[in-house]
Structure 1
Amino acid sequence: MKVIHRLVYSALLLSAASSCKKDFLDEDTSGFLSPDNSYTTTAGFEAGLNGLYAYARLEFQTWNNDLFSQGATPQEALQVGTDIVTTKSNGPDGSLIPFAQYTLDNASSYVRNYWRFAYGLIGNANSIIYALDHHDIVWDDPANDPNRVRATALFFRAYGYRYLINLYGDVPWVEEISSDPRTDFTRTPRAEVVQHMIDDLKYASANLPENPDAIEDGKLTKWAALHYLAEDYLVARKPDSAIIAAKQVVESGYYTLNRERFGAEKDQGGDVFHDLFIEHNQNRKSGNRETIWAIQLEYNTQGGGDLYTDWSKRAWVPFYANVGGFTLADSLGGRGLGQIRPFDWWLNSYETTDIRNSEYNIKRNWYYNDPTSALYGQKVTITQQMINSGNLFPTTTKFFYGKTADNPAFEGNMKDRVKIRLAETYLLLAEAYLQQNNLPAAAQAVNEVRSRANASIVSPSAMNVDYLLDERARELIGEEMRRITLSRFGQQVFLDRVRTLNEQSRSLIQDYHVLWPIPQEVIDANSGAEFPQNPGYN
């Protein structure tokens, strides 16, 4: 059976570009089949939904992946050049440097890859919707199955557009598939695309399962759709609607901020915030009542990850093994390369009582661990050269991972990856109240997060956009895609934050850099209609 690429929009997928040997949806991992041949039974639709989940996982896979292959960890490309991290300017992998130096152009690989990833996800979601509308299926559960299938496809369509509107601005809205390749797309205004995303997520929130205890790990619920619906209402500057959506999640009764130790290492040293990021603690069966959606990447499990999945560790963990007196160790995070390091403003923004600032959550002190070295057991005096080289620096421990028993090469970060947790929903709620200029309510929402962290209560008078973005960094560093967040807050906030807080990029960023360029291959392939480049990238 043929992969769905023959039915989707070749100009958007770059398949008309002569430099491509094959359409990028020719992915064995996506598992997408022709809707006319495969989406004819309920089992076929379930296979299609599983394919959507598998395709979404590709954004975390660095190697052996035709979308994001042999380059920097994809997620870290959305951190560098913002307000939270710097990247080293030398080393074996310099693929993050263009993001810090703002030298991306319309031929840059990641500019192309995120476009391909997003429209691939959208195209495959649309193929399922097409089949629902054109096939007569006898459903095992006529009252629910077709609605749930459509809701899942619509969720992932909106999820794909979440990347597109924040990275590229105006992009074609596509909700149909065509039997013939199209080359006449035009750019839909961002505001119009956002409204379509809202419509998709409203349907998804009304038709996805409600009870997270009644579904498999990693599957979607209405609460995940409502979380992103709240986010899209914020993009649309509709705070009243965002508040309604976010409050439905926080008041659902299914989720709560974990305030007691739980999970795999609850009887060992640590704290409840650290527990959130320990292997096997990302799903509800561990006692985690905070995760709303976790992408399943666990090592060597069916539908999970492998040695080359989620190399976030390689970015966030220092290249300590490059320093004499060190050897690779689980306790030090595994095989990090120190590609990025947090700025000092983030490190210094915590109160001493804040558990997010504890030794379990931020590693500031390093000790030589090679028992064959004369330095064994001594504390390292971290030099500026060590910091600049990425060899040693203080960093978050969220991505510390390296289990020699399972993975002797210390390759990937094979824990399930939480995409949505309740703490962020509270911060979205605070953002909505800020848009209303309701500072007391915004402070109350933030204080739900800060109280769990044992941080002091913020007063309404201190609440503003910068405080909220600082708090998001304290709570969500490395988890949120920071470029996506700053884009939502608007161009001026994006620019002000980078120019104020990013000493590496502040003199390089220009106003137009808030958006990426449109891949030139897309413009060239779209010969049937004008498809202008984003300003500044001619």
Structure 2
Amino acid sequence: MKLNIHTIVLTGMLGIMTTCFSCEKLLEVETPENQIDKDMVFTDVQTANAALAALYSGIRDQSTVSGDQLGPVLGTYTDDLQNHAVATANGIIDVYTNQLIESNSLVYTMWSYNYKQIYNANAILEGLEYAPLPQKDKNRIKSETLFLRSLMLYHLQQLFGDIPYPVTTNYQINRTISRTPSAEVLERLESDLKECVGMLADAYSHSERIYVNKKTAEMLLAKVLMDQKRYMESELLLRGIIQNTLYNWEGDLSKVFTKSGKHILWQLKPSQTDFPTIEANIYYFGNAAPTNYSLSPILYSYFSSADQRKQKWITATTIGSNIWYKADKYKLRNNNSSEYSIVFRLEEVYLLLAESLLQQNKLGEALPYLNATRTRAGLQALTSGLAQNTLLQETVNENRREFFAEMGKRFFDLKRVGMLSQLNVNKPNWKVFHQLWPVPQQELLLNSNLNPQNPGY
């Protein structure tokens, strides 16, 4: 069955509950043995928690946040990664060569995965509306669900621009839904995230930070505000995260991707005990030539010999006359007990704050936040006297060195600061209209209200 936004049904969510949740036990509750009627799902806190856990696991396995989605896909779409696939069945080669068409299967996967999770989130929100649960539990589950829906919609807005913004599971409404203008999507996300912030607590509900808290929501809200060029408001949110005693700067590069770090805002637990992260597998190619992904030589050249990230997070493999560079941030492929997939970490907060301050021409205030990751990596701190544009470019460069192969950050960073045209240098097929992806052909055929197609496709 096609995974378009108007054919996904509630039993899909319940199927996730009965298959995924039982594997990783994200919450210490029993999994329902059978599918449950929608009206009965939230008769108690235990069942509501199970539905929320299923949503988290679904987002981990099938969404843009999954380790095999944004990171490698947008890494190849930009200039951070090379792709070595020999088959084109999943559309990744056309993504790599910037030759997207509306029938590209990978574009459809990114769209449909997220709308599947958005549907599941809406089912939870509807189930909570009249559920006889304690208000504290209802607020917690609602706020986390609303955040997860917001994150899925935010990634879709970044990729596709104008998008459907479904807030119901009603088939009759969803099958004819229109696309909401991109600017309005950001406004609605701002409203939803402010509601999340109002209900979430700073304290984590799990010691391993596998569930979001208030500061996680504030970080996403800060990104939404920065996309609206509301830098003063984003500055206040980002400073609040940095100043919170829940978080500590991690000074040891070898511990950045260890799950116990206090620099982590939110991370995703592997599906089973001792399983590696998705990232540990997808970027691995051992002592052979890569068959999936490798770091581009252009990215490698951005690291000076003094940059400790070059030694600790990248592994070079020589095969004959070729040298391939492997992203080696997540290292445990067997008996993994210390690595989870990090979605948000404090280093990103620092660099977002640096960018917000630079956009307000607060150059001196921005320098400590821009220099934090540089000096930790063994680089010299940048000093005053540099122009605003120079420092903004340095922030983009530092984001690239710090977050390569993580959640597609280079694409989002370049887009936010209006520098996507820099990809012209290394990507000969790059065009201005590639800042947006095409709406999947399958969706346009099923719902004509999603027209018109994005420009250029």
The TM-score normalised by the length of structure 2 is 0.85
Q: How many Å separate the matches in 2 of 1:429 and 1:233?
A: 12
Q: Does 1:47 align with 2:50?
A: yes
Q: Does 1:320 align with 2:287?
A: yes
The 1:511–1:445 alpha-carbon spacing in structure 2 relative to 1, beyond 3 Å, is: same
Residue of structure 1 in register with 2:394 after alignment: 467
> Following TM superposition, by how much is the alpha carbon of 1:85 offset from its aligned partner in structure 2, in angstroms?
2.0
The 1:170–1:34 alpha-carbon spacing in structure 2 relative to 1, beyond 3 Å, is: farther
Which structure 2 residues correspond to residues 60-459 of structure 1 after superposition, within 5 A? 75-88=71-84, 90=86, 95-133=91-129, 135-139=130-134, 142=135, 144-178=136-170, 180=172, 182-212=174-204, 215=207, 217-259=209-251, 272-277=252-257, 281-282=258-259, 284=260, 288-297=261-270, 299-300=272-273, 310=278, 312-318=279-285, 320-321=287-288, 337-358=290-311, 360-364=312-316, 366=317, 383=321, 386-387=322-323, 393-403=324-334, 406=335, 415-459=339-383
Q: 1:12-44: CA deviations, max 9, x gaps?
A: 52639xxxxx99947833558654221222222
Letter in 1 for 2:419: V
Q: Does 1:536 align with 2:436?
A: no
- SS, match of residue 146 in structure 1: helix
Question: Which stretches in structure 1 are left out of the alignment for 5+ residues?
Answer: 17-21, 260-271, 323-336, 367-379, 388-392, 408-412
The 1:213–1:154 alpha-carbon spacing in structure 2 relative to 1, beyond 3 Å, is: closer
Which structure 2 residues correspond to residues 22-61 of structure 1 after superposition, within 5 A? 25=12, 28-30=15-17, 34-59=37-62
Number of residue-to-residue matches in the alignment: 438
CA contact (8 A) 1:11 1:526 kept: no
Between structure 1 and structure 2, the one with the greater Rg is 1
Letter in 2 for 1:245: L
The 1:160–1:517 alpha-carbon spacing in structure 2 relative to 1, beyond 3 Å, is: same
> Following TM superposition, by how much is the alpha carbon of 1:153 offset from its aligned partner in structure 2, in angstroms?
1.2
RMSD over aligned CA atoms reads 3.2
> Following TM superposition, by how much is the alpha carbon of 1:456 offset from its aligned partner in structure 2, in angstroms?
0.9
- SS, match of residue 29 in structure 1: helix
Q: How many Å separate the matches in 2 of 1:57 and 1:530?
A: 27
CA contact (8 A) 1:15 1:23 kept: no
Q: How many Å separate the matches in 2 of 1:12 and 1:196?
A: 22
The TM-score normalised by the length of structure 1 is 0.73
Q: How many Å separate the matches in 2 of 1:348 and 1:175?
A: 45
Q: How many Å separate the matches in 1 of 2:433 and 2:82?
A: 20
Residue of structure 2 in register with 1:369 after alignment: none
CA contact (8 A) 1:11 1:183 kept: no
The 1:344–1:23 alpha-carbon spacing in structure 2 relative to 1, beyond 3 Å, is: same
The 1:97–1:395 alpha-carbon spacing in structure 2 relative to 1, beyond 3 Å, is: same
CA contact (8 A) 1:316 1:399 kept: no
> Following TM superposition, by how much is the alpha carbon of 1:225 offset from its aligned partner in structure 2, in angstroms?
0.8
Residue of structure 2 in register with 1:522 after alignment: 443
Q: How many Å separate the matches in 2 of 1:197 and 1:318?
A: 39
Question: Which stretches in structure 2 are left out of the alignment for 5+ residues?
Answer: 19-34
Residue of structure 1 in register with 2:429 after alignment: 508
Q: How many Å separate the matches in 2 of 1:449 and 1:233?
A: 23
Letter in 1 for 2:225: Y
Letter in 2 for 1:222: K
> Following TM superposition, by how much is the alpha carbon of 1:124 offset from its aligned partner in structure 2, in angstroms?
1.5
Letter in 2 for 1:467: E
Q: How many Å separate the matches in 1 of 2:85 and 2:174?
A: 41
Letter in 2 for 1:257: W
CA contact (8 A) 2:209 2:265 kept: no
Q: How many Å separate the matches in 2 of 1:120 and 1:521?
A: 15
> Following TM superposition, by how much is the alpha carbon of 1:472 offset from its aligned partner in structure 2, in angstroms?
0.6
Q: How many Å separate the matches in 2 of 1:114 and 1:292?
A: 24
Q: How many Å separate the matches in 2 of 1:432 and 1:523?
A: 37
Q: Percent identity?
A: 23
Letter in 1 for 2:363: L
Letter in 1 for 2:122: N
- SS, match of residue 348 in structure 2: helix
Q: How many Å separate the matches in 2 of 1:457 and 1:314?
A: 34
Q: How many Å separate the matches in 2 of 1:215 and 1:513?
A: 41
Q: How many Å separate the matches in 2 of 1:396 and 1:149?
A: 35
The 1:188–1:427 alpha-carbon spacing in structure 2 relative to 1, beyond 3 Å, is: same
> Following TM superposition, by how much is the alpha carbon of 1:213 offset from its aligned partner in structure 2, in angstroms?
7.8
The 1:173–1:447 alpha-carbon spacing in structure 2 relative to 1, beyond 3 Å, is: same
> Following TM superposition, by how much is the alpha carbon of 1:189 offset from its aligned partner in structure 2, in angstroms?
0.8
> Following TM superposition, by how much is the alpha carbon of 1:57 offset from its aligned partner in structure 2, in angstroms?
0.8
Q: How many Å separate the matches in 2 of 1:33 and 1:423?
A: 42
Letter in 2 for 1:58: D
Q: Does 1:493 align with 2:419?
A: yes
